[in-house]
Amino acid sequence: MGLTHDSFLECSQYAVDVSNVSSYDSYLYCSSRYSGNNLIDSFYINVTDFSCSCFEYCNCPPFVPDPDIAGTGVLAAFVVSAGLTIIATALHLVLTRTNCPETWNPLDRVCRIPLDCLRKRSSRFASLANSDNHHTLVRCLYDLVLSLSDTQLVVGIAMLSAAVLRLHQDSITVYHLNTVINLAWLSSGVHTLTLLVIRIELIGSIKPAERRENGRDIELVERQENERVVEPTERRENGRDIETVERRGTMRRVKPAIIIRVACMLALATLLLYCSWISGYEKWDERFDCPAKCTIGLRKGGLPLQWMVINFVFILWHYPLNIFGLWFRGRKIWVDRVRYRLIDDKGGKNGKSKRKENGRGGLPRRTEAWSVIIFVFWYIPASEAMDVLVEISWFSLGFYWVFTDRHSMHQEMGEDEKAAENNIRGFGQLVPLFLLLAPILQIFESYAGEFYPTQVLVAL
């Protein structure tokens, strides 16, 4: 519901006479946007009398810097943390996806060709991929990714929650809310990228060939492994790391973590949808210095509306897919019973589809149009390489938007306001900067933990 002519009448009641005033710093200029009316065309009101009824007719109150949201330290900490998460995730994917069974996705197969060539031609890379240090490095990277992923998820929820509370308390401007939204998108995108690592490490592959060991269902092997104590000398069996089997077999203990993660993802998605709806106001990019609360319910349109639609589509498509990816049983049903009927001839309970068994390789009547549809709507969204590319693109756009908006707003600020927002000596600026030390500690702790002797617990 937009503002009406009645809003102008309500606002004009606060008109004051400024004919004898030497300074207008304490007043806001207002003008009617209705042509041909008999009301006062323009007037001034006190800054303290400003309300959302005057939003479309008056200048906004003086801009108040908020270094805890848009300060140099906060922005630097967010960008560095998100960038470090992307680097750690990419390194983990490179090390774990190079020397592994062939992927079912043709896009990923193409993207792994350069990595395979690098592994074959580079002696240093090949020795790392096949040495004991490979396992240590992968475990350290996974611990780092897990720590950073949780941080990104929780911080994104915290910032959006605080921003929404301040929004309804009328204590946050459009610029600061927009900055929070951009930072939350950084956190959201980086977190969804880390799910590529977390999903495989926590749940494991759902390919039939990798769920079986010596002809037995791997789930049975996992249950048997969990019932006995694994001695230090049994850390490897037939070249396979028992710790991986144990980790995949502890789904009962993993489920609470997955449930909490999914709940947090749903909370973050809900907050992003709400804030994206708020930012669809048609003049969102023109009223950065105004109270964000006054834009609620106003007409959507223009470029802000287009980005709102893109955000909605991205969240409503991407988040359900990522949440489904954390559901082991659902993914297992998809591979065993559904995939080979819709996508290609991969999958099936026995590792091969019934269509192959019947001598009818591929889908029946696999037309060229159907192949294009499958490629566009399945292979591209389900590709790990595309996930990495999309999230890096979102990160780059988020980085650009955050600092472009900051630069535009600083051009309209006075020197005192700039100095206040750039002051990094505040509590809200120093805390996120020092929190950047946590990932460094995590790396060294994980590296040292790989060499800790296994402790034997004795019941006294």
Angstrom distance (rounded) from CA 81 to CA 213: 39
Neighbours of 115 (CB within 10 A): 17
What pLDDT is stored for residue 184 in this prediction?
Answer: 93
What pLDDT is stored for residue 456 in this prediction?
Answer: 46
3-state secondary structure of 164: helix
What pLDDT is stored for residue 71 in this prediction?
Answer: 85
What pLDDT is stored for residue 235 in this prediction?
Answer: 45
Angstrom distance (rounded) from CA 49 to CA 14: 7
pTM score of the predicted model: 0.78
Q: Which of 155-169, 331-345, 431-445 shows the lowest mean pLDDT across its residues?
A: 331-345
Angstrom distance (rounded) from CA 78 to CA 256: 28
Q: Stretch 312-335: mean pLDDT, rounded?
A: 84
Spatial CB neighbours of 444, under 8 Å, sequence gap ≥ 6: none
Angstrom distance (rounded) from CA 63 to CA 315: 32
Angstrom distance (rounded) from CA 79 to CA 155: 13
pLDDT in tens, 69-88: 888 888 888 889 888 999 98
3-state secondary structure of 15: strand
Contact call for residues 300 and 280 (beta carbons, < 8 A): yes
- Residue predicted with more confidence, 67 or 235: 67
What pLDDT is stored for residue 346 in this prediction?
Answer: 66
Structure tokens at 239: 């070249």
Q: Where are the domains of the chain?
A: 1-59, 60-449
- Residue predicted with more confidence, 336 or 248: 336
Angstrom distance (rounded) from CA 320 to CA 386: 17
Which of 96-110, 165-179, 368-382 ranks highest by mean pLDDT? 165-179
Angstrom distance (rounded) from CA 389 to CA 110: 14
Q: Helix 251-278 and helix 174-202: axis angle, to 10°? A: 160
Contact call for residues 116 and 97 (beta carbons, < 8 A): no
Neighbours of 245 (CB within 10 A): 20
In this prediction, what percent of the chain has a pLDDT beyond 90? 17
pLDDT tier at 37, thresholds 50, 70, 90: very low
What pLDDT is stored for residue 161 in this prediction?
Answer: 95
Q: Stretch 31-52: mean pLDDT, rounded?
A: 71
pLDDT tier at 17, thresholds 50, 70, 90: confident
For residue 369, pLDDT over 80 is answered with no
pLDDT tier at 304, thresholds 50, 70, 90: very high
